Amino acid sequence: MGTVTTMRQLTMSQAINEALREEMRRQPNLILLGQDIGAYGGTFGVYRGLFDEFGPERVRDGPLCESATVGFAIGAAINGMRSVVELEFMDFVTVAMDQIVNQAAKMHYFFGGQIKVPLVIRTAIVSRMGMGSQHSQSLEAWFIHVPGLKVAIPSNAYDAKGLMKTALRDTNPILFIENVKLYSTKCDVPEEEYSVPFGRARVMREGSDVTVVAISAMVPESLAAAEKLGAQNISVEVIDPRTLNPLDVETIAQSVRKTGRVIITHDAAKTGGVAAEISQRIMEEAFDYLNAPIVRVAGLDVPVPSGALHPMVVPNQQRVIEAVLKMLGR
């Protein structure tokens, strides 16, 4: 008889919380660091209940200084304490760039492989919440440019838990990027133990006319667009890379060889975004199969405004639909 998998619906926030809880029970040397993560449960509530179970020694509120918190976590990690740091908004990684880029990412190399840095930095994209240009940036492209860092960016509860489990058993520094808009979205998550490997994309929907490579919050937007386009007899394949470094180029290229057309979409500003790197990798791996130029559907190259204007800056399903129809000459 095969293994029976028991499913239940969890939100993405609950799934991440469950992954942290399970691994803290499994790994007594795992600690959580960040602002307002103790009794308050974290800015977006992902840590709820962890302080009550594990106490202030393992769930530590840090100072209003991201650089100091990340630096403390690096020191703990190289001395055998696996650390998870929460940076409340992705914009705040700018305050800790030296620690992340010049220290955490390079220490394994500096010391000839004798030092490991088991560090997970959780940070949130808030571009769809209307909280202004200093709290709404999607900066993932900066970090795929840094050798020594891994970058995960899940779009649903199943992948969020599975990728977090993998991250919490890795010995490398990992940037784990979560979109706040996705925290309340639900999907089936197994009760049984499982993990999702880094570097393996997921085909969210199969299709034959156009490939859409979607990142983070643009995954559900692209799936909704594909559903509407299906009513017009247009078959759209949607791929979620799940991790950006390592990037599963082969799954993307295999899809492009099938469809001959590709659109890449993300919240981040278009210029210099992850879509540009994925586009070039497709050119290197599947150029001969392209029947049309690669198209990017991305955020506008402007600071993300607050209030009612912010939906005009980030992409949505309608922009994906328009790009597909234009690509197909409809």
CB 226 within 8 A of CB 208: no
Tell me the C-alpha distance between 36 and 269, whole Å.
29
Q: Which of 66, 86, 88, 237 is catalytic?
A: 66
The tokens for 169 are 């058993």
CA 8 to each of CA 17, 121, 310: distance values in angstroms, whole numbers, following the listed order: 15, 27, 34
Extended beta strands in 116-259, E state: 119-125, 150-152, 174-179, 186-190, 202-205, 210-214, 236-240, 243-245
- Relative to beta strand 236-240, strand 119-125 is unpaired
CA 73 to each of CA 32, 66, 211: distance values in angstroms, whole numbers, following the listed order: 9, 11, 40
Does the annotation mark 135 as catalytic?
yes
Q: Which of 108, 135, 266, 310 is catalytic?
A: 135
Q: Taking each helix axis from N to C terminus, what angle separates 274-286 and 249-259, rounded to the nearest 10 degrees? A: 60
Does the annotation mark 322 as catalytic?
no
Tell me the C-alpha distance between 231 and 322, whole Å.
15
Residues that are catalytic = 66, 135
